Structure formats: C-alpha cells, structure tokens
Chain A
Amino acid sequence: MTRLPAEVDVAIIGGGPAGLSAAAELKRLGVASVLVLERDSEAGGVPRLCGHSPFGFREFHRPMFGPAFARALVARAREAGADIRPATTVTSLGPGPRLTVTSDEGVAEIAARAVLVATGAREASRAERLIGGSKPGGVMVTGALQGLVYGAGARPFRRPLILGTELVSFSAILTCRHASIRPVAMVEPSERIVARAPSGLLPQVLGIPLYLATDIAEIRGGERVEAVVLATATGDVTIETDGVVVTGRFRPESTLARLGGLEIDTHTGGPSVDTCGRSSEPGFYAAGNILRPVETAGRCWEEGRAVARAIARDLAAPAADRGATVTLAEGPLRYVMPQRLSSDGPPALNELQLRADRPARGRLSLRAEGREILGHKVSVRPERRIRIPLPAGNYPVQVVFEEEP
C-alpha cells in the first residue's frame, strides 16, 4: 500500500455508511482528494458484521444482507475515486484541521481542508449500565456477538439471556439463530417492548420467554456466566444461562471528537452541529450515528451524502454564520439535533430529530421568544423517531413538550 498522503482536501474518519456515502458524493462533486480512514481491517462499518437483512432499500432499492450492503458501499466510494484506508485509526484531532493517525507503519499526521467525523455509535456496555454481580466471561454487547459469530466463526455461548428489546436486540436474536444459539430469555426493564412490530413479535414466535418490567439484579459465575438473577415486579427469579447479551442503549462514539475539542451535546452524546453538519470547530463536520443514538444505516447514509454537499460548498466559499441555537426544555424529551440552525446554504439535516426518554403524551411545540411557531399533540415512546420540520428563518428556537397529566 502506498503511504498515507500528508495533505488532502477532505479527510473522513470512519468508513461506515455515513463516511462512505460522503466520500462518494464529494468525489462526484469534483473534490480532488478524499481520504477515508477506517480503523477496522475492512471498511463498511457496522453492517459489515450484520449477517442479516434489511439494509439497502434507500441506497440500492432492494433488501440486502449487511455484508453485501457494506461491500457495495465500499465499491461505490472506491469507484468514485475515494482513497479508502482500512486498518488506520485516527487517534487525535487538532486545529487546522489536522489529524494524527496510527497504522502498522506507526504514527502519521494529515492536514485537511475539511474533516468529516463519521465514527458511528456503540451500545452501552455492562459497565456503563452498572450491572451488578461477578465478572465472568460471556457478557457482551450485540456488536461483539456479531463480530464473534460472523467475523470469527465462533460461538461464545449456547443459552444466553438477552437484555433489551430495541431493534438491535432482535438483531441479537437473529445472530444467535445463525449460530444455533438458543436464548433462554429476553429481559426488558420498561413495561413494553421498545421496538415496533413485527420485530417485537419475534420472541413470541420463537418461543423465547419475555420478561417485561424486569432488570438484571446480578450476574453470577466464575470463568463463565452461570446464572442471572432477575429483579421482576413480583420478586427475584434466578435463570441458569451461560451468557448475557447487553443490547442497545446506543451512544455516539464521540470520545475522539470530544478530546479533539469539538463541543459535545450532553443530550445526544455527540458533537453539536448546525443544519449543515458543521461542528463547533472550524473545518470539522459530523454525520451518521455519531450525531445521535441511533438511526438506520439508510438514514446515516443519506446524512453522509447531504453533509458532503455542504462540505463541498464550504470548500468553495466558507460559511461565516455560526447559526441560531435550538434548545430543549425540561421534560420527557431526551435530545434534539441539530443544535443550531444555519442560514449559510441549504440545510443538509432538513428536520429536527428528537427522541423521548419515556412514554408520554402531550403537546410538542417549537417556540421562538416564547411564542409558539409550530405545535401539535403527540404521543411519544422511547427509541421512536420524532421529527419537526425546520423553522424558516434564522432565530433561536426552543423545543417544548407540555405533558398531559
């Protein structure tokens, strides 16, 4: 492989759907040098290890399995002329923009006119969720399970318990089935399955006992998981099992961005951006799941493409405006993204994306100077999309959710 270039027009961190679609689009728009830096041994992002459907509707107009979808995205970006470098990890960001990367060759510095951060999201680990008990082997997030099954051809357990009922939790079930792993139970802390039907019906169809309003009280085991104690509404239940899949509760993979000085929105956990994907730091943009937890591959792909157009425009004529703020009032809503409205150029992110922390009903409205400019009654649930069209004009707005008692 040739050496990494020391200077490029656009450096893209992360070769997932968002980064790869941005790369292809930038090349299509005539940007001379576009470099994609991907830390994994192959580009493609999370779908590369999702040996299941559905991917690709939006991008290729047909249902695809994750790996085929990932390969197709890589091929498109490469054909468009992007320079894709797998096995290359970005370790720090600096003003300029400037990047430090590491690979088998050691450390290198890259200067770019613009940097797109597209590092994706990951699931909250057992540690992050403060799950108690001992620390045996066999406790992992869905991403790790998929890596083991599809990436390493390995079976880490035979009868695991699955924590969570988000969409990704059902990916975990499908992955288990692929490896002849039979989950013993599915456990959901809230009172309802989080994902929509039909995925939500999967446990029933497959005869996996479902425990709602239940949390893991304790994981037991020495070398390997031996049992899990569940705290249910009616008391503790001990289930013998040899593994735990901790699923969902995604959070943006934003440590690199944060250490690089990009302003982080504590609600999304990702960098604050304006409607063009511009972060707080000049020359740094973000797209895909790093912006918020969590969207489908198709939407991330779309976002990458749209932010690429904003980048290409800015390279020709830099934007000056920092944009008006979008803020969130206290309530059941967890986040709103983008965090700023820019009047410099057509928006790449063309709606306000919101998510709720808990189920709630009430009036969702957008206010400017205390005056409602848009509003309607809604019923919201966690991990479901909530969208508000972008307000016309460039003034600070606040998102308010007035709950019905």
Chain B
Amino acid sequence: MVQSQGTRQRYDVAVIGAGVIGCATARRYAIAGARVLLLEKAADILDGASKGNSAILHTGFDAPPGSVEAACVAEGYREYLDIREKLGLPLLRTGALVIAWTDEQEAALPELIDQARANGVDDVQMLSRQETLSREPGLAPTLRASFRVPGESIIDPWSAPLAYLGQALAHGAELRRNSEVLGGRFDGEEWELRLAGESVRARLVINAAGLFADEVDLALIGTRDFTTRPRKGQFVVYDKPAAALASHILLPVPTKITKGVVVCPTAFGNLLVGPTAEDQTDRRTARLVPEALAALRRRGEEILPALKEHTVTAIYAGLRPATEFKDYCIRSHEGLNYVTIGGIRSTGLTSALGTASYVFGLTEAAGFGFDAPDEIAWPNVANISEAGERDWQRPGNGGVVCQCELVTRREIEAALEGPLGARSLAGLKRRTRVTMGRCQGFHCSARLAKMTRDVFDTPMAERLDHD
C-alpha cells in the first residue's frame, strides 16, 4: 500500500491509456491489491484502437508459435472463459471455418492445421467441400475445402473492457478521463507524471497508450524502440436478418500481412464483413472510404451470395497499433519502474487479460508486490448482447428508447451514472448500443438528446430558445 506521507495524488501504479489493454492491466494490478490510477486522454475509455474491431475471441490457432503474442492470446482466451460468467460477459461459441477458395489456398490448409496444433489448438477439424456446405449452406458453392476451429468465439468488444475496469474500480482503482499524460520524471523511487495543470505520483508506470505508445515512451523515457505504423481496418455491418446467413466466423486463408476479410456474426445479432488492412500515417482518424466499403460488400456477397438482399446498417473503421515488428512490443525498463505495452496489433481484445498477467509477471519479477485483498469483488456489467437476457425483457425497464437495438430507458440511465458513466454519445453507444441499429437515430435522437442534455461534455444539440 501507499506510504502514509503520500498525498491523494500518490499511487502504486499509473496506467496510461484506457483501451482494452489499459483496462485489463488496471484490473490485474487492482485485484492484486495495488492502488491504481488509469489515465485516459480522451473524454471516454475505448476511444483508440479498441473502439472498432471484429470482436473475435481468438484461440490463437494462427499465431506465430513461440511469440509473446501467442502466449498472451492463449492466456487471454483461457482467462476470459474462466472469469466471464462472474462478470456477466457473453460468449458466442460459433467456431470458425477457415475457407479455401483456390487450389493454392487448399494446399495451404494442412500447414495451417499443423500451426494450430503447435499453438495448442488441437481440436481443429478438416472439412470437405460437401461437409463445409452442409454446415454453412449459405456459402458460395465455389469453395474448395475448409477446416473448423471450434473454439473461435464472438464476444462483446465494449462490455469486456468495461467489466475489467469496473472490477478495477471496485478494488479502489481510479479512472481519470480527459487526462493526457504530457510528460514525467522518475526520481529513482517514484514517477511524477505531468497532466494539464497538475501532476500525479506513482511508483510504477505502465504505458498502454496503444497507437501512441511509442510517443509516450519518447515523452517519458526519452527513447523508443518501435514506431507505430497504424493499419486501418474498415467494416460494414448488416441488419439483423442477415445473421441467419452464417452461424460460424468465416475466415479466409491468412496472408503474411493480414488475417484477411472475415464474415462473422456479432454479439448483437448482426453480421459483419471486414476488416480491410490499409497502412497509413495518421494515428487519429480512421477514414471511411466508399470504394473500400463497396468492395467489402462485394467480397461479402462472393462469400455469402444471399447477402445481396440485405441492407447495411452501420459502417466503421478502426486503427490497429501495428509496428515494424510482427510480435507485440512489451518491454520492462528495469531501473525505471516503467513498462511499455506497444504494438498490440490485431489480437488485443482477446489477449488483454493474458497481456496484463504477462506484464504483472514482469514487474513481479522486478520486485513489485502488493498486499492482496481478502476477497475479490465481481461486479456484473449489464448484458447488451443477444446471448443473455436483455433489459427489455424485464419489467420496470422504463420502456424502449432505441427501437432498433431495443435499448431501454433504464439501461440508458444506468450507463450515464457513476464513475464509469458515459460522457459522450460515442461512449453511450458503446455502453448500450443506442443509435447503432438500422435507423441510425431516426427514432431515438430526440429522446436521447433530452435524456443526456445535462450529462454530456458536448450536448447532442443546443436548446432551441425561440427568440
């Protein structure tokens, strides 16, 4: 625990960045008994790489064997299954099909199966064309063969980090939003991190700044040993009736640079096609490009021809914090009480819990220990996925506000409350899915504007005072 001469501003651990990695890391240290501060520069958590991904909980069957990534993914996967019920988190055990569409791809399947086994995923199963089609009748009949990875699953990409952070807060962690770390100094014992207008002190600093992890390294330790090379991924999301077209995650045979375009169900009952893989220098904006989105539609229709008859209800893009290295860039800077977690490229949602444990192991080895609490709290997050009961199914919900996603008044009010409450429409969307459905706010904008008038940092609309 913190020494008594410490002010309120003194923490055991300061985690920089509230992406999925930062949230899982804050949790890991908090449940171990550390006094944790999580600093996020944006108005809300999950505003960086973590805001737009495919939401697949990977088994790691295609990870490079022996890499840090493979270890963190495997451990993250395992721990998610272990704790998810205690936190109220969903799991859609869809399984994945890795589908070969050409001779060349078909020839590559055995090697991929060997790789899966090397990664400890040994329940994969080769399927002939016929067997594949009988499991997924909606697939274009031109496919050659596939193999099935039963463990690949779908989760809720926002509730998971929210739940990790919720558990951290239950263990005394603090979250500060709109708090960018601008610089800092290590005096041999403690860090002093400079924020706009104030500073905080912590024994250990963990840089989980995602796309900005290299820049934070430069600002704090004066050097960086990797450079972020953002890789954009665009997606199209189809309306709920399209979800009936596929029951598995449909993966292509991966190439060296990308896992390729995936067709997969979502935890919210939609169907998703994406992502693209486009290198760019901008770390902030993931621009949607109509031609790329149209190409995704076409690719989706090549895989599932009946998709032609379905409508797109949402489009989004995310940036992967890729670097010049293939593996994660996790470094413990001995003597500086400082750890960098960078380059968590395309598997961070899955690996977050594992990555947090890996980092915890590094700092433990460097001598950081905390007094574990007597008991661990398991606060539940509200379920917004189709996998469990939803609030609209229960009495006293206050009525449905967002009709497409069936979000109730009670759910919205809860998401606006407390230390983790949403402070922007984007944050409210991630917590409840309001306006994320087919009408994109046609029906609920007015009620939302009223409900959030005095809550959001920037209101959805100004008041009309007739003059």
Which residue numbers of A lie inside 8 Å of B, CB to CB? 39-41, 49, 87, 89, 91, 102-107, 122-123, 125-128, 130-135, 137, 140-141, 143-144, 147-149, 151-157, 179-180, 217-218, 223-224, 251, 253, 255, 258-259, 264, 266, 269
Among B288, B289, B442, the most chain A Cβ lie within 10 Å of the Cβ of: B442
Q: Is the CB of B439 within 8 A of A91?
A: no
Tell whether A125 pairs with B400 under 8 Å between CB atoms, given A134-B287, A135-B288, A148-B461: no
The answer to whether A255 and B239 touch across the interface, beta carbons within 8 angstroms, is yes
Size of the B side of the interface (Cβ < 8 Å), in residues, is 53
Interface string of B279-306 (1 = CB under 8 A from A): 0000001111110011001000000000
B440: chain A residues at CB < 8 Å are 125-128, 140-141, 144
B443 at the interface (CB under 8 A from A): yes
Residues of B within 8 A of A253 (CB): 439
| Binding stretch for chain A, among B127-135, B310-318, B364-372 | B310-318
With contacts A87-B399, A104-B395, A154-B464 known, what are 17 further pairs, Cβ within 8 A? A102-B397, A106-B395, A127-B312, A127-B313, A128-B311, A130-B293, A130-B312, A132-B293, A134-B288, A137-B460, A143-B442, A147-B445, A148-B445, A152-B449, A152-B461, A154-B460, A223-B424
A223-B312 contact given A89-B406, A149-B464, A255-B241, CB 8 Å threshold: no
Evaluate contact between A130 and B315: CB separation under 8 angstroms. Answer: yes
Contact, CB under 8 Å: B447 / A144: no
Chain B positions within 8 Å of A153 at CB level: 463-464
Distance A144 CA – B403 CA, assembled complex (angstroms) = 13
Contacts of B241 in A (CB 8 A): 255, 258-259
- Docked Cα-Cα span, A223 to B239, in Å, equals 26
28 contacts between A and B (CB under 8 A): A40-B443, A104-B395, A104-B398, A105-B396, A106-B395, A106-B397, A107-B392, A122-B443, A125-B438, A125-B441, A127-B313, A128-B440, A131-B288, A132-B290, A133-B287, A143-B442, A147-B447, A148-B449, A152-B446, A153-B464, A156-B461, A156-B462, A218-B287, A255-B239, A255-B240, A255-B241, A255-B438, A266-B309
The CA of A251 and the CA of B303, in the complex, are separated in Å by 25
Which chain B residues have a beta carbon within 8 Å of chain A's beta carbons?
236-237, 239-241, 285-290, 293-294, 297, 309, 311-316, 392-400, 403-404, 406, 424-425, 438-443, 445-447, 449-450, 458, 460-464, 467
Q: Which of B316, B400, B460 lies in contact with A156, CB distance below 8 A? A: B460
CA distance A87 to B403 in the complex (A): 10
The 8 Å CB contact of A132, one of B240, B289, B311, B460, is B289
User: Are A147's CB and B443's CB within 8 A?
Assistant: yes
Asked if A152 and B450 sit within 8 Å, CB to CB, the answer is yes
Nearest-CB residue, chain B, relative to A40:
B443
Which of A132, A154, A266 sits near B449, CB closer than 8 Å? A154
Residue on A nearest B291 in the bound complex, by CB: A132
Measured CA separation A134–B286 after assembly (Å) = 7
User: Quick one: which of B290, B393, B425 has the most chain A CB within 10 A?
Assistant: B290
Known: A128-B312, A132-B288. A123 touches B446 (CB 8 A): no
Q: Which residues of A contact B394 (CB under 8 A)?
A: 106
Q: Which of A131, A144, A155, A258 contacts B441 (CB 8 A)?
A: A144
Residues of B within 8 A of A104 (CB): 395-399
* A41–B401 alpha-carbon span in the complex (Å): 9
The docked-state distance in angstroms from the alpha carbon of A140 to that of B445 is: 9
Tell me if A259 and B240 are in contact (CB < 8 A). yes
Complex Cα distance, B442 from A143, in Å, reads 5
| A395 to B297 CA separation, bound complex (whole angstroms) | 38
**Chain A residues whose CB sits within 8 angstroms of the CB of B467 once the complex forms:** 180
Query: Quick check: B425 and A137 within 8 Å, CB to CB?
Result: yes
Contact present for A107 and B316 (CB under 8 Å):
no
A41, A104, A134 interface centre (most CB from chain B within 10 Å): A104
A305 to B289 CA separation, bound complex (whole angstroms): 45
